[in-house]
Structure 1
Amino acid sequence: MALLSSFIAVADRPGRTARAAAGYVRRHLVGGQPRSDGAGRHEAGTVVVPPRAASFVEGRAEGLEPVTVAYEREGTGEPLVLLHGLGYHRQAWGSVVPLLADSHDTIAMDLPGFGESPDLDPTVPRDLETAVAWLGAVFEKLDVTRPHVVGHSLGGLIALRLGQAGLARSVTALAPAGFWTGAERRYAYAMLTAARQGVRLLPDEAVGWLARSAAGRAALTGTLYGRSGLCPPETVMASLRALRDAAAFGSTLRAGRDGVLFSGDIPGVPVTIAWGTWDRVLPPWQAYRVKAMIPEARLVPLPGCGHVPMNDAPELVARVILEATGVPQGAH
């Protein structure tokens, strides 16, 4: 999931179509190839983790068609499952996993219809109860019992529901979706839809040019990231491709309009809610609505982080996860 902040700013003006807005971005932001920041160098020493080949697992929950997900597994220790947000993919956790792998058996998944996972069979309902059922079957197939579950946005909401179902030994949710008012949901949906349309209309070469400079990366992802200029070009381009190619994008948005997405408490399960203080997609005050439902939840602000804190501050996010999963300070 990534946002073209400049595209959105133009697309929100009355009388402009998405195609006209994309044309504006091409004319004003892609006047030629920007200067490179230097081969192999990224600001602030960001490490680019090379992509790894996916493995695949099939979960068969009772009464459902099988669900297949792509995943990567690394490290040793208590199992920890990582769930990404809408329009994203498992590589969202690429800079965080190496910081967790010494303490945890980490499993980063592509949700169905995102990344390399095939979309759900049309007969499989796209609701949260069903997601919990097939994820439970996937956990069983992977031979993990009550893993720690960490989720971002859509993945954070699913992680909370897994905790309610007794399928997680701890839950860490980064800006979980679903704790919005009607107006906030419509705002978030409009931003995400405009972003996806913008990505689909911008030529690949334009995205590549923009991604090679800090200013271009800020134009591409400034609404999503708090420190967009620091995000490596490879990460920006991979994120935009994941958003563009997400087969389940529209159907997931439609499913999110139905009813109350979360209610009740999660007794007996440690819950951490972390939120970027610069989140422009799901404003950080929504964290207090989570706290009102789950009184024992620990709230952790992520200073200077936007909606995808894994890219803004991977070391901070890893530290929050390790604390939430009970890894002693100094052991990582």
Structure 2
Amino acid sequence: MAEKISFPVAAPAGDRTVEVAYERLGDGEPLVLLHGIGHHLQVWDPVMGILAAERDVIAVDLPGFGRSAAVPEGIPHDLRGVTRMLRALFEALGLERPHVAGNSLGGLIALRLGQEKLVRSVTALSPGGFWTPAERNYAFAVLRGLRLGALRLPEPAVARLARTAAGRAALTSAIYARPGRRSPDAVLAEIRAMRESTAFDAVLETGRSFVFTGDVPDMPVTIGWGTADRVLLRRQGVRAKRIIPAARLVRLPGCGHVPMSDDPALVARVVLDGSR
């Protein structure tokens, strides 16, 4: 069950209160999980139990997504703004340099947290920011299509589609290689999260300038990329390895852009290895 926590974040016009939803499970060294744009923390459900056997796992709804409140006025929807909010969240939860794993936008944020030395290790699954302009435009078109579908499809229609494997494929095959593994309830919840996100449009617009530059020195970094990723093509993983030479680049065979339900055991192993 998700909990919520409120905490102050410094902004140019004075402190703002940010409210974030999160789920926490397990014991051990802390591990924070970050989802992608338009998603929510439940996307990590397939691996939470495995990870919690060795880690104190904290899955987070990023501000403006899932059950977290909208980003307060005065805090930008850019990497600097989200890094500032996550730094304050770590302090509020008593986390001193946790491990972090992120997918897509969450992977890009995780790498940025690594550059800021706010975490102990980084595992980034299909992170954004390693694209060419054409690859970015293609990925954003896919994301806009998913958002438009979520906004236009009535919830009863989504519920009917989600009851069948073919319907789940129609709704989510852009991001999952094995959409039939998602439960009807999970698909319905993530379509709802995409539809109700208050930060989606602002983050996507700001994301035009998201290009990852610079190394992540003195930090264990693992980059995983699904071989069936249809949003961010896997050649971007090779590009990421060139930019972060010491990173461990791992292929995720048969996995899509959001690999956690495509192969939970593999993804959990990659994340745990990365946090060791």
TM-score with structure 2 length normalisation? 0.96
Aligned-residue offset at 1:62: 6.6
Aligned-residue offset at 1:230: 2.1
- Hey, what's the Cα distance between the residues in 2 that align with 1:114 and 1:131? 12
Report matched runs for 1:253-272 at 5 Å.
253-258=204-209, 261-272=211-222
Distance 1:53-1:134 versus aligned 2 partners, 3 A rule: closer
Report matched runs for 1:172-321 at 5 Å.
172-258=123-209, 261-321=211-271
- Hey, what's the Cα distance between the residues in 1 that align with 2:98 and 2:120? 6
- Hey, what's the Cα distance between the residues in 2 that align with 1:174 and 1:122? 30
Q: Which has the higher contact order (CA 8 A, sep 6+)?
A: 1
1:69 to 20, 33, 55: 20
- Hey, what's the Cα distance between the residues in 1 that align with 2:177 and 2:49? 22
Aligned-residue offset at 1:136: 1.0
Q: Which residue of 1 aligns with 2:31?
A: 80
Report matched runs for 1:76-225 at 5 Å.
76-225=27-176
**Secondary structure class of the residue paired with 1:309:** coil
Whether the 8 Å CA contact 2:20–2:61 is kept in 1: the answer is yes
Whether the 8 Å CA contact 2:97–2:120 is kept in 1: the answer is yes
**Secondary structure class of the residue paired with 1:87:** coil
2:7 to 45, 58, 61: 58
Specify every segment of 5 or more residues in structure 1 that has no aligned partner in the other structure, as ranges.
1-51, 327-332
The CA RMSD over aligned residues, in Å, is 1.3
Whether the 8 Å CA contact 2:129–2:212 is kept in 1: the answer is yes
Code of the residue aligned with 1:168 in structure 2: it is: V
Aligned-residue offset at 1:193: 0.7
- Hey, what's the Cα distance between the residues in 2 that align with 1:128 and 1:203? 33
- Hey, what's the Cα distance between the residues in 1 that align with 2:121 and 2:8? 22
Whether the 8 Å CA contact 1:59–1:135 is kept in 2: the answer is no
Whether the 8 Å CA contact 1:93–1:310 is kept in 2: the answer is yes
**Secondary structure class of the residue paired with 1:105:** strand
- Hey, what's the Cα distance between the residues in 1 that align with 2:26 and 2:76? 33
**Which of the pair has more CA radius of gyration?**
1
Q: How many residues align?
A: 274
Whether the 8 Å CA contact 2:11–2:74 is kept in 1: the answer is no
**Secondary structure class of the residue paired with 1:94:** helix
**Secondary structure class of the residue paired with 1:72:** strand
Aligned-residue offset at 1:58: 1.7
Distance 1:193-1:123 versus aligned 2 partners, 3 A rule: same
**Secondary structure class of the residue paired with 2:64:** coil
- Hey, what's the Cα distance between the residues in 1 that align with 2:169 and 2:225? 20
- Hey, what's the Cα distance between the residues in 1 that align with 2:230 and 2:253? 13
- Hey, what's the Cα distance between the residues in 2 that align with 1:290 and 1:201? 35
- Hey, what's the Cα distance between the residues in 1 that align with 2:147 and 2:80? 27
TM-score with structure 1 length normalisation? 0.80
Whether the 8 Å CA contact 2:47–2:264 is kept in 1: the answer is yes
Whether the 8 Å CA contact 1:225–1:312 is kept in 2: the answer is yes
**Secondary structure class of the residue paired with 2:250:** strand
Code of the residue aligned with 1:126 in structure 2: it is: H
- Hey, what's the Cα distance between the residues in 2 that align with 1:222 and 1:265? 33
- Hey, what's the Cα distance between the residues in 1 that align with 2:87 and 2:10? 8
Specify every segment of 5 or more residues in structure 2 that has no aligned partner in the other structure, as ranges.
none
- Hey, what's the Cα distance between the residues in 2 that align with 1:228 and 1:79? 30
